[in-house]
């Protein structure tokens, strides 16, 4: 009987010990599981704003690039069989969207006559004027012929090219124009009252104007090539040795 009681008490102690250890084991297991849990990374969405190129700011009715208006002297001496010639060259860059408008005036000294496309003829101390239009990406050359009558003073004369130019129809945005051309009168012109036949501007096949200066230069170059070619084809010298 006593042994049965001892065995019973021993079993109760073992059961008590096991019962006391189970919660601790469960708590340790929970801590281990919590420690081993790896947080999954959270996906982040990056929004890239769309890049929009702003349009090029353009100012209607104005030049992006300034036009060019110059004088190109061709001949500066007036004689009986030679007239003075000067070219009024105007160019409007292709970057512009508006037409170049030029209102030019020529102040003519006494005894001097001028002739040119869209210019009126003038004699004495007068002024001749002309208006010209140059579209974007083109150029224009106006050939001005200068003659002298018998009343013109022998010596140097200065012709003043003045006026205004502006973009398109925006006359409020005008710019001044001031150029000069000097010509020397040695003899009166043969027929100062008659306009020459070559006063119109020259143009090439594409519609662009060919200045008279380039025509003269091309003729000089071709003439030089012809002379060099002719000298190169001269027959070689032959020597004759006479035996005594």
**pLDDT tens, residue by residue, 41-70:** 554 545 555 545 454 444 567 899 999 999
Distance, in Å, from the CA atom of 214 to the CA atom of 176, rounded to the nearest integer, reads: 28
- For 94, the domain range is 68-204
User: Is residue 105 one of the residues assigned to a domain?
Assistant: yes
Distance, in Å, from the CA atom of 72 to the CA atom of 84, rounded to the nearest integer, reads: 12
User: Is residue 5 one of the residues assigned to a domain?
Assistant: no
User: Is residue 222 one of the residues assigned to a domain?
Assistant: no
User: Is residue 180 one of the residues assigned to a domain?
Assistant: yes
Residue pair 175/165 in contact by the 8 Å Cβ criterion = yes
| CATH code of the domain covering residue 114 | 2.60.40.10
Number of compact structural domains in the chain? 1
- 147 has a pLDDT exceeding 80: yes
User: Is residue 227 one of the residues assigned to a domain?
Assistant: no
- 31 has a pLDDT exceeding 60: no
Token pair of 212 as six digits: 């008279």
User: Is residue 84 one of the residues assigned to a domain?
Assistant: yes
- DSSP states along 121-175: EE-SSEEEEEEEEE-TTEEEEEEEEEEE-TTSPSEEEEEEEEEEEEETT-GGG-E
- 201 has a pLDDT exceeding 60: no
Q: What is the dihedral of CA 105, 202, 194, 116, to 10 degrees?
A: 0
At 178-200, the pLDDT tens digits run 999 999 999 999 888 888 775 55
């Amino acid at each position: 009987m006593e042994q049965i009681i001892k065995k019973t008490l021993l079993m109760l102690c073992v059961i008590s010990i096991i019962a006391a250890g189970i919660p601790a084991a469960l708590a340790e297991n929970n801590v281990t599981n919590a420690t081993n849990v790896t947080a999954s990374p959270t996906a982040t969405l990056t929004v890239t704003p769309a890049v929009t190129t702003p349009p090029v700011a353009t100012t209607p009715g104005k030049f992006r690039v300034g036009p060019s208006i110059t004088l190109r002297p061709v001949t500066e001496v007036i004689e009986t069989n030679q007239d003075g010639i000067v070219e009024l060259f105007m160019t409007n860059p292709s970057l512009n969207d508006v037409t170049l408008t030029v209102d030019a005036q020529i102040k003519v000294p006494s005894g001097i006559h001028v002739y040119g496309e869209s210019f009126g003829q003038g004699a004495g101390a007068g002024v001749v004027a002309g208006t010209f239009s140059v579209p974007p990406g083109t150029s224009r050359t106006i050939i001005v012929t200068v003659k002298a009558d018998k009343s013109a003073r022998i010596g140097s004369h200065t012709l003043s090219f003045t006026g205004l130019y502006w973009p398109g129809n925006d006359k409020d945005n005008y710019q001044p124009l001031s150029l000069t051309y000097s010509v020397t009168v040695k003899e009166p012109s043969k027929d100062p009252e008659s306009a020459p036949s070559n006063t119109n501007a020259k143009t090439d096949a594409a519609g662009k104007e060919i200045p008279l200066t380039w025509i003269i230069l091309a003729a000089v170059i071709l003439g030089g090539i012809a002379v060099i070619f002719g000298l190169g084809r001269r027959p070689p010298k032959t020597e004759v040795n006479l035996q005594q």
